[in-house]
């Protein structure tokens, strides 16, 4: 039996050890990037460059985000006629450190402020989702670097991380296989599947075995994340599949030749080259067939 010592009467007991709450990281935004959290705390200005995108900060807040996997602000503005292509290009060419492209567009009355801020916020969250993807490459921050667009409505780092976590969880609930996010997509031929919605039908029409989800998002002028939602739902329904490189066949090392015993009958003839004899009583094949029939019946 272990004796528990109690402090003498009249003395102050030692303080309790601190216990870290498991929900604390999630309440603070999840801590997706320790460097980003530190930059926000020190109210830094510059650009954080990561493997799959960049985050622009002004006094510790996110003012812009870019990723090669997400359509830019220009795609969202031009795709549905909110802004003319020539007007956008003129603002980009005239932008400088004092007058960003956003300010030039607003001062000239080329686009309503609400529409510009809404499209910009969608582009920021869209690109940040990819920029904050876990990677093995460390990020790099360049102090003082700005973006030619200029600041519109800064977003707190905690809000960006919280939204990124929410989007990850949503995609995992829909279809917990991220391989469809970056692979070329192809429509699956299946008879037992629900009828796709109009948005999903537009995605299926562009799934030609060459385009990825990001390519389809740019073609449709939509956010990449919303396209990923459609892609994962279609994959879960069996209507869409990703084209992945085939796995390399595993070759067993050659073993010693097997000779029949004295009581064995004549050896079975070798199959013709390129032909594999089926194993009728293989329980694994039977199970796979049952799983296939069940999935097709959904």
Parse the chain into domains and list their residue ranges: 29-173, 175-242
Asked if pLDDT for residue 74 goes beyond 70, the answer is yes
pLDDT band at 193 (very low <50, low <70, confident <90, very high): confident
Query: How wide is the angle at C-alpha 94 spanned by C-alphas 223 and 141, nearest 5°?
Result: 60
How much of the chain exceeds pLDDT 70, in percent?
71
Mean pLDDT computed over 157-183: 94
pLDDT at residue number 294: 56
pLDDT at residue number 242: 81
pLDDT at residue number 80: 79
Query: What's the whole-model pTM score?
Result: 0.72
The rounded distance, in Å, linking the Cα atoms of 282 and 186 is: 31
Assign domain 175-242 one CATH number from 1.20.272, 1.20.120, 1.10.10, 1.10.150: 1.10.10
């Amino acid at each position: 039996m272990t004796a528990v010592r109690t402090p003498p009467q009249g003395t102050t007991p030692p303080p309790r050890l601190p216990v870290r709450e498991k929900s604390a990281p999630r309440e603070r935004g999840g801590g997706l990037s320790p460097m980003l959290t530190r930059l926000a705390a020190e109210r830094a200005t510059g650009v954080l460059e990561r493997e799959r995108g960049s985050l622009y900060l002004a006094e510790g807040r996110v003012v812009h985000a870019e990723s090669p996997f997400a359509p830019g602000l220009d795609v969202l503005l031009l795709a549905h006629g909110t802004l003319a292509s020539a007007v956008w290009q003129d603002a980009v060419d005239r932008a400088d450190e004092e007058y960003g492209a956003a300010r030039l567009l607003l001062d000239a009355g080329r686009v309503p402020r609400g529409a510009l801020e809404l499209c910009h916020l969608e582009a920021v969250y869209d690109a940040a989702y990819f920029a904050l993807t876990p990677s093995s490459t460390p990020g790099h921050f360049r102090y003082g670097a700005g973006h030619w667009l200029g600041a519109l409505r800064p977003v707190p780092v905690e809000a960006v991380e919280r939204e990124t976590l929410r989007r990850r969880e949503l995609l995992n609930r829909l279809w917990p296989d991220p391989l469809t996010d970056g692979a070329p997509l192809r429509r699956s031929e299946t008879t037992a599947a629900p009828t796709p919605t109009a948005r999903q039908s537009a995605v299926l029409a562009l799934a030609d075995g060459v385009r990825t989800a990001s390519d389809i998002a740019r073609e449709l002028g939509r956010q990449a994340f919303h396209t990923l939602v459609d892609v994962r739902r279609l994959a879960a329904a069996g209507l869409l599949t990703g084209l992945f490189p085939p796995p390399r066949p595993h070759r067993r090392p050659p073993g010693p030749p097997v000779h029949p015993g004295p009581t064995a009958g004549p050896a079975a003839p070798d199959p013709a080259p390129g032909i594999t004899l089926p194993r009728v009583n293989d329980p694994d094949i039977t199970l796979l067939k049952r799983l296939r029939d069940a999935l097709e019946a959904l």
